[in-house]
Amino acid sequence: MIPASKKLADPIAALATPMGSSGVAVIRLSGSGLPNSILPLVRDSKGRELTRNFFVPRQLMLVQLVEPQNLQTLDQCLIVYFQAPNSFTGEDQLEIHTHGSPILIKRVLVLLATVGIRSAYPGEFSKRAFLNGKIDLTRAEAIMALVHASSLNAVHEAARQMQGSMAKCWQSLRETLLTILVQLEAELDFADEEIEFSTHEFIINKLLDVRSSLEKLISSAQTGKQWQEGFHIVIVGKTNVGKSSLFNKLLEKDKAIVTDIHGTTRDIIEQSLEWSGIQFLLADTAGLRETQDTIEIEGMRRAHDRVKTADGVIIVYDIREGFGEAERNIANQHTDGHILYIANKLDLVKSNPLSNNQNSEMVEEIKISCKTGEGVDVLRNKIIDKFTTNQTHQEGSVILVARQLGILHNCYKYTNAALDLATNRSAYELIVANLRYMLEEIADLVGEIGYDELLNNIFSKFCIGK
């Protein structure tokens, strides 16, 4: 059997940039034997053979890539060498910067395989970085989050996490938990009877600290989720008021069908878009009216559901009819109060002022015309303002992958259980158990790196023989 460490260093290669025609493509290599193993595939700019000394760490070297059988040149390219352990993976690493030709890239990958450098599995570089202690799991996940970021805010957040912001949070939580655990276990070992009152107080206070940090994290993760996935905005209103026209206008494309026939839109039509670096998911819905049509009824049900869960609701009505009961009913379903009232078809009142409905209820509305485009820009800015304020992406708000969010919720559950037990001054062994569950979850999250050191560190500060 190959020893684990040997297996790990097995050299791998992968295209790090998207496959397609481009100025430059980067092929990444990692593992043992580099750069020696690629020597048959490279020559210097004059066509001379190279030795491994040619590759000075962290310097871009100009080389020719050649077919090893007939030395035919494939490309002139740049190679940079990162010497272990000073590389992303912690292994010897190379980056080959070729021109971005898909045929060339495939050929290079085949040639690399012929010299014993196989194609990497998805995520294998990051996995190696983790296994070699270069990054913890939260940082590995931050790299994924950065690659898939859907807004500028998400990019900033991922960058912070790559620098270890989440790892620090978890680490500090872990330290607090360990402090409580150590104190409690020591007392349980040495005390014959009751736990001292001061210890009891200490445990309660520390657990309250833990709970409040967890609450902060959970709430900022919820905001973070919106920044990552986009703010969900739904357009609702009666039929024929111009919802689909507005949807198209905001998207600046003709996506939803617009006709003067009532009940044209039946299903929810969605489109994501970005304004000022913020991601939105805009939804057009079936108009609300009395109908026997089964499909339309289902469409309306879905529209109502959306109103309840959306981050923002845009209620559209015909300016000539004004805001009435139907619109008020929709507004009542959305409890967060993130609603904009849009009086559409302004052009028609301008051309016929008498058509304005005097019975319209007073609401703070934005008057627009989807036909002329008047007011649509104002509305767009209002959407950004209204639906994203109070949710400003601050330093503290975090975007967590589902796995981390799950662990956060579990920890919250265990902390509450421990607090209940501690308040009753009973079953301290169960508090210990809850603390241990949490520590296990967190260890899963960040990996076991540094666990022993951390324990030693905490024990060294703790005077057990008091």
Where on the chain is the footprint of ligand GDP (CB under 6 A)?
A: 239-245, 258-260, 264-265, 287, 344-345, 347-348, 369-371
Q: Which of 147, 143, 304 is nearest to 237 (CA)?
A: 304
Cα–Cα distance for residue pair 303/130, rounded to 1 Å: 45
248 belongs to the binding site for Mg ion (CB under 5 A): no
When the beta carbons of 111 and 314 are compared against ligand GDP, the nearer one is: 314
Q: How far is the CB of 371 from ligand GDP (least distance, A)?
A: 3
Q: Which residues contact 102 (CB under 8 A, 6 or more apart)?
A: 19, 20, 21
Choosing among Mg ion, ligand GDP, none, which partner's interface includes residue 344 (Cβ < 5 to 8 Å by kind)? ligand GDP
When the beta carbons of 25 and 339 are compared against ligand GDP, the nearer one is: 339
Cα–Cα distance for residue pair 448/130, rounded to 1 Å: 11
Q: Which of 81, 149, 108 is nearest to 19 (CA)?
A: 108
Exposure on the CB side of residue 423, measured as CA atoms within 13 A: 8
Q: Which residue in 98, 223, 265, 388 binds Mg ion (CB under 5 A)?
A: 265
Choosing among ligand GDP, Mg ion, none, which partner's interface includes residue 260 (Cβ < 5 to 8 Å by kind)? ligand GDP
Cα–Cα distance for residue pair 34/10, rounded to 1 Å: 10
Which one-letter DSSP state was computed for residue 41?
Answer: G
Choosing among ligand GDP, Mg ion, none, which partner's interface includes residue 32 (Cβ < 5 to 8 Å by kind)? none
When the beta carbons of 265 and 344 are compared against Mg ion, the nearer one is: 265
When the beta carbons of 243 and 320 are compared against Mg ion, the nearer one is: 243
Q: How far is the CB of 381 from Mg ion (least distance, A)?
A: 24
Which residues share a beta bridge with 316?
237, 342
Cα–Cα distance for residue pair 234/342, rounded to 1 Å: 13
Q: Of 216-245, which residues contact Mg ion (CB under 5 A)? A: 243-244
When the beta carbons of 265 and 397 are compared against Mg ion, the nearer one is: 265
CB 414 within 8 A of CB 437: yes
Cα–Cα distance for residue pair 224/442, rounded to 1 Å: 20
Other beta carbons within 10 angstroms of residue 464's beta carbon come to 11
Choosing among ligand GDP, Mg ion, none, which partner's interface includes residue 226 (Cβ < 5 to 8 Å by kind)? none
Q: How far is the CB of 256 from ligand GDP (least distance, A)?
A: 7
When the beta carbons of 225 and 382 are compared against ligand GDP, the nearer one is: 382
Choosing among ligand GDP, Mg ion, none, which partner's interface includes residue 312 (Cβ < 5 to 8 Å by kind)? none
* Assigned token pair, 174: 């872990």
When the beta carbons of 93 and 245 are compared against ligand GDP, the nearer one is: 245
If 0-12 CB within 10 Å is exposed, 13-18 middle and 19+ buried, where does residue 23 land? Answer: exposed
Q: How far is the CB of 299 from ligand GDP (least distance, A)?
A: 11
Q: How far is the CB of 234 from ligand GDP (least distance, A)?
A: 13
Q: How far is the CB of 74 from ligand GDP (least distance, A)?
A: 56
Per-state percent for the chain, helix, strand, coil, to nearest 5: 50, 20, 35
CB 182 within 8 A of CB 459: yes
Choosing among Mg ion, ligand GDP, none, which partner's interface includes residue 348 (Cβ < 5 to 8 Å by kind)? ligand GDP
When the beta carbons of 244 and 404 are compared against Mg ion, the nearer one is: 244
Q: Rule CB under 5 A: which residues touch Mg ion? A: 243-244, 265
